[in-house]
Structure 1
Amino acid sequence: MDFLSDFLTRFLDKLQSPTLGFLIGGMVVAAVNSRLQIPDAIYKFIVFMLLIKVGLSGGIAIRNANLAEMLLPALFAAIVGILIVFIARNTLARLPKVKTVDAIATGGLFGAVSGSTLAAGLTMLESEGMQYEAWAAALYPFMDIPALVTAIVLASIYTGKQKSLSQQESLSKQESLSKQESLSKQPVAAGGYPSEQEYPTTRQEYLSQQRGTVDTRVKIWPIVKDSLQGSALSALLLGLALGILTQPESVYESFFNPLFRGLLSILMLVMGMEAWARIGELRKVAQWYAVYAVVAPLLHGLIGFGLGMVAHYTTGFSPGGVVILSVIAASSSDISGPPTLRAGIPKANPSAYIGSSTAVGTPIALAVGIPLFIGLAQTLMGGG
């Protein structure tokens, strides 16, 4: 009982944070049909500033870090990203009125990482005084890229198989008609059957001759390249590179760090407004997406938390680092993921995967997931 009461107290305290307050405020503003608008250019600039700051802090830490300590958390991040896609493929895709390609795309978006959710998690960790490895933010691409690649590969394999089956059915009908026509025209050999020399083609030979080979191979590098060129990941990697190769401590402390929380508050306001607007899109698809979007962030985050605990007891990964791994696992990409999936899985319905992510998944990850994982870490590992 002491464990439960301690956890609930910590959890309720996190719900009163200003970060979540701005998110809820944005949803309220949108719900009452306010004309308040934040220009898209300002939104993109804020995301860029936040991720540059996160990248700089990570790069500065990596410069002085033991890279061997990163190996196990990075491996776990990649495993979680891939696993999330397979979970969606084998759960969401089996539910009524859910198309398989839509489910795979949804899994890819939930497996990829939200830079804004990561920024919110880092801010809440700092407000709690929880220590974490600054390089932990660099786990972002280790989860993001494998998730997007896995989703696009699975979707390509599925659509290739469906195309192949469709071609086989079509060719089977053509073959049947062709044989019937040939039987009426071919010369008859002794015994009353068509001459084998005149009609030698078996069904398998005919199909192989007519349909050719369906190419289901998926090129991985273009997918990785698109992910790396995405605005969010590019900003984070740029910050990492500058932090590692230069000495940006002075500009970091005087400019990026002081602005971080204020910019994040505005970003949460925008995300709250966007989340409410996306609820309408969610009504266009099966209600199972809403159920999935409520459960998935918490389930994925707990998987990340469990693997983070393994790294904690194995390599000394900090409680704050465990929370970061959990937060990026619970998040769903809001910037780089959607355009990557639109290009990679064009047959998927964006209303399904973007609507479920932005309208439900992101608010759940922010309002419930981050406080939940911080509370668990503080209760189980005494981190703060």
Structure 2
Amino acid sequence: MAQIVEIAYANLLSPMILFFLLGIIAVLVNSDLKVPTAFYSGYTMIILFTIGIKGGVELRNVSLIEMLPTIVTAVFLSLLMFFISHLLISKVFKYPIVDSFAIAAHYGSVSAVTFIAGLAFLDKAGVPYESYMSAVLVIMEGPAIILAIILYKLHSRSHGEDITNPNASLKHVIKEAFFGKSIFLLLGGIFIGLVAHVDGLVMIQPLFGDLFYGILCIFLLHMGMIATESLTKIKNIKPLSFLFAFILPVIGGTLGVICGNIIGLTTGGSMILAVLTGSASYIAAPAAIGQAIPKANSGLYLGSALGLTLPFNLIIGIPFYYWLATLFDKL
């Protein structure tokens, strides 16, 4: 226990976490601090491109056969987390089934920012990890979102509800889940990193490398503000009703470490798989779910994923997953 407290304390003092906390404080004290929408869109693109480019460069030295066990495990974990989330939210916390599908889609998908924070944690600690984990991030984004919307459509049809909304069509759902903004930028970055000439990559290093963590800190400042604002908008919900936002990351992180050890990932690789499995999407999933399941309460899935699970993972989850990975590694 002393070790995990020490790791968590060190993580809490990292610039990324401090910027996130500063964003929370800005809203709580009613500061007039604002981040321009255009600036937000710009640095989101830089962050996602950078993740993709870095992953693409690393993929040059990795074969598909080497990645295959991790890819299969990642898809399995994504779908498993969807079903665990759905059962917990609908049966234990008694949320309506439509909200349950929507929330489960977010917890079956993944968070790119939590992923980056996990990588930064390992880099700072000098712990190696598998170079292809950026590709795993992309792979885990879509399956749970697709499954949630398919089950919602089947449920709606069985209850005679009108689902003629064109944005709920399977074709549109697949396009949004696999080629929405975040996925497209990640895939584009991977492609560039994989095929671009090395000299060309050196030329873009100042923006998509040297400035990356500074831009990420501003992004997390903004995320802290949005997370706090999303929670303040939720009305008539008892605090205990959101306990799932802390239970699911622990379940997902533990499953990620166990599966990572089973398939032979390094300690760092198992930790990153845990970070992905224990995270919740708040970019790709809300975009798809908001259009395809309009009856779901957006305050619930955004408030839980962004307002509770993201800060939990940044402050407590990441150190816990690392401690768990090192513990399993000693067994």
TM-score when normalising by structure 1: 0.79
2:14 counterpart of 1:17: yes
Answer whether contact 1:289 1:356 (CA < 8 A) is retained.
no
Counterpart of 1:224 in structure 2 is 174
Q: How far 1:103 moved relative to its partner?
A: 0.9
Secondary structure of the 1:134 match is coil
2:186 counterpart of 1:236: yes
Matches within 5 A, 1:331-350: 331-350=279-298
Counterpart of 2:62 in structure 1 is 65
Residues 207-254 of structure 1, C-alpha deviations (whole Å, 9 max, x = no match):
xxxxxxxxxxx9644322112221111111000011112224313534
Answer whether contact 2:109 2:280 (CA < 8 A) is retained.
yes
Based on CA coordinates, which of the two structures has the bigger radius of gyration? Answer: 1
Answer whether contact 2:8 2:315 (CA < 8 A) is retained.
no
Between stretches 31-40 and 115-124, larger displacement belongs to 115-124
> Partner letter of residue 300 of structure 2?
A
User: Do the aligned partners of residues 96 and 226 (structure 1) sit closer, same or farther apart at CA in structure 2, a change above 3 Å counting?
Assistant: closer
2:243 counterpart of 1:295: no
Counterpart of 2:269 in structure 1 is 321
Q: How far 1:135 moved relative to its partner?
A: 1.4
Answer whether contact 1:305 1:373 (CA < 8 A) is retained.
yes
Counterpart of 2:101 in structure 1 is 104
2:63 counterpart of 1:113: no
Counterpart of 1:253 in structure 2 is 205
Of the candidates 260, 274, 281, which is equivalent to residue 308 of structure 1?
A: 260
Secondary structure of the 2:208 match is helix
Of the candidates 124, 133, 146, which is equivalent to residue 136 of structure 1?
A: 133
Q: Measure the CA separation in 2 of the matches of 1:302 and 1:282.
A: 29
Q: Measure the CA separation in 1 of the matches of 2:174 and 2:126.
A: 36
Q: How far 1:15 moved relative to its partner?
A: 2.3
Counterpart of 2:165 in structure 1 is none
Answer whether contact 1:57 1:135 (CA < 8 A) is retained.
no
Counterpart of 1:375 in structure 2 is 323
Between stretches 55-64 and 294-303, larger displacement belongs to 294-303
Answer whether contact 1:79 1:143 (CA < 8 A) is retained.
no
Q: Measure the CA separation in 1 of the matches of 2:124 and 2:38.
A: 28
Q: Measure the CA separation in 2 of the matches of 1:142 and 1:304.
A: 15
Answer whether contact 1:20 1:367 (CA < 8 A) is retained.
yes
TM-score when normalising by structure 2: 0.91
Secondary structure of the 2:132 match is helix
RMSD over equivalenced CA pairs, Å: 2.2
Residues 14-52 of structure 1, C-alpha deviations (whole Å, 9 max, x = no match):
222221111111111110000001112212221211111
Q: Measure the CA separation in 2 of the matches of 1:15 and 1:372.
A: 12
Between stretches 317-326 and 284-293, larger displacement belongs to 284-293
Q: Measure the CA separation in 1 of the matches of 2:329 and 2:51.
A: 25
Aligned residues: 324
Q: Measure the CA separation in 1 of the matches of 2:152 and 2:117.
A: 31
Residues 153-197 of structure 1, C-alpha deviations (whole Å, 9 max, x = no match):
121222222228xx9xxxxxxxxxxxxxxxxxxxxxxxxxxxxxx
Answer whether contact 1:289 1:352 (CA < 8 A) is retained.
no
Counterpart of 1:263 in structure 2 is 215
User: Do the aligned partners of residues 131 and 30 (structure 1) sit closer, same or farther apart at CA in structure 2, a change above 3 Å counting?
Assistant: same
> Partner letter of residue 159 of structure 1?
S
User: Do the aligned partners of residues 285 and 160 (structure 1) sit closer, same or farther apart at CA in structure 2, a change above 3 Å counting?
Assistant: farther
Answer whether contact 1:285 1:351 (CA < 8 A) is retained.
no
